[in-house]
């Protein structure tokens, strides 16, 4: 069983527990559920750098990254430094996040928020809106084409934006649909957790210009981003290179200042 298989198995158990304890009707009564969504895709398009800065305490590949800097401090730092978007890991067992992190983030910023988790059910999409998110992540490696279509269309029906994450050409084919706004090429193989930048460079030419294109994982230098921009990327999802510092927001600011 791969790490991804283990995560999805755990997610199904967690999902059943959540459904038993909080109904969809309850979620729809949350204060954030009826707020207007802030467009992540527009924010990336209107940015000089397109960086989605991520809050991530740990990961299966790196163990603890930063579990000491309060999330409010991290988010304020990202906000003040001019992030195009903020990605919040809400998986608890493997990444140390919680849904409460989404609420805390929404209370600290007006920058668009991406909920990053392993979404396999419409319930999680309703959760995302109820907790203040603006966009969801759908990972093609753990969803069928039919599921991507169903979940992305449902997200759009409640005004959330959709970022689909791919790792190869076969996964991409199921994501080229009207209900997807952003396509992210993940340089990390979710089965082995190995990182290869060639993944982004080789796949971007197959993504139509109708979609916002971002590169994810393993990015750590301004030279890498400048090179990837030349390949046609609009934005980048970065987390570990900022979060491993005591002041992630300051690290983001310094990074942006180094870009051309």
Whole-angstrom distance, CA of residue 85 vs CA of residue 35: 17
Nearest to 236 by CA among 253, 258, 260, 212: 212
Q: List, in order, residues 6 or more apart from 122 with CB less than 8 Å away.
A: 150, 151, 154
Please compute the mean of the pLDDT values over residues 185-191 and round it to a whole number.
Answer: 81
Question: What is the extent of the structural domain holding 142?
Answer: 3-258
Please compute the mean of the pLDDT values over residues 189-203 and round it to a whole number.
Answer: 80
Whole-number percent of the chain with pLDDT over 70: 98
Q: How many domains does the chain have?
A: 1
pLDDT tens digits along 51-98? 999 999 998 877 899 889 999 999 999 999 999 999 999 999 999 999
pTM attached to this predicted model: 0.94
What average pLDDT does the structure give for the chain? 94
The pair of structure tokens assigned to 74 is: 């991290």
Annotated catalytic sites, by residue? 54, 56, 116, 165, 186, 216-217
CA distance to 3, 6, 87, 121, per residue, from 15 (Å)? 18, 14, 21, 8
Pick the range with the lowest mean pLDDT from 151-160, 224-233, 242-251: 224-233
The pair of structure tokens assigned to 127 is: 């959760």
Strand bridging mode 113-116 / 85-89: parallel
pLDDT tens digits along 108-123? 999 999 999 999 999 9
pLDDT band at 260, cuts 50/70/90?
low
- 3-state class (DSSP) for residue 39: coil
What pLDDT score does 62 carry? 74
Does residue 4 register a pLDDT over 90? no
- Upper half-sphere CA count for residue 57 (Cβ side, 13 Å): 16
What pLDDT score does 223 carry? 87
Does residue 236 register a pLDDT over 90? yes
Any idea what the CATH number is for the domain that residue 22 is in? Answer: 3.20.20.70
CA distance to 59, 96, 106, 119, per residue, from 63 (Å)? 5, 10, 26, 22
Does residue 195 register a pLDDT over 90? no
């Amino acid at each position: 069983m791969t790490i991804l298989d283990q995560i999805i198995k755990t997610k199904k158990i967690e999902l059943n527990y959540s459904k038993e304890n909080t109904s969809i009707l309850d979620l729809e009564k949350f204060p954030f559920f009826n707020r207007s969504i802030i467009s992540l895709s527009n924010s990336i398009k209107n940015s000089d750098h397109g960086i989605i800065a991520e809050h991530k305490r740990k990961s299966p590949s790196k163990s603890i990254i930063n579990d000491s800097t309060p999330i409010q401090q991290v988010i304020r730092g990202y906000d003040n430094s001019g992030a195009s978007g903020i990605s919040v890991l809400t998986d608890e067992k493997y990444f140390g996040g919680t849904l409460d992190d989404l609420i805390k983030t929404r209370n600290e910023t007006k920058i668009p928020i991406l909920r990053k988790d392993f979404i396999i059910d419409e319930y999680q999409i309703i959760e995302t809106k109820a907790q203040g998110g603006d966009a969801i992540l759908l990972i093609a490696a753990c969803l069928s084409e039919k599921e991507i279509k169903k979940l992305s269309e449902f997200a759009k029906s409640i005004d959330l934006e959709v970022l689909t994450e791919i790792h190869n050409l076969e996964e991409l084919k199921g994501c080229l649909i009207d209900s997807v706004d952003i396509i992210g090429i993940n340089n990390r193989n979710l089965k082995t957790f190995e990182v290869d930048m060639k993944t982004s460079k080789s796949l971007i030419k197959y993504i139509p210009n109708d979609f916002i294109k971002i590169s994810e994982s393993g990015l750590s230098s301004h030279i890498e981003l400048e090179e990837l921009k030349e390949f046609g990327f609009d934005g980048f999802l970065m987390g570990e290179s900022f979060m491993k510092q005591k002041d992630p927001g300051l690290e983001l600011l310094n990074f942006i200042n180094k870009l051309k």
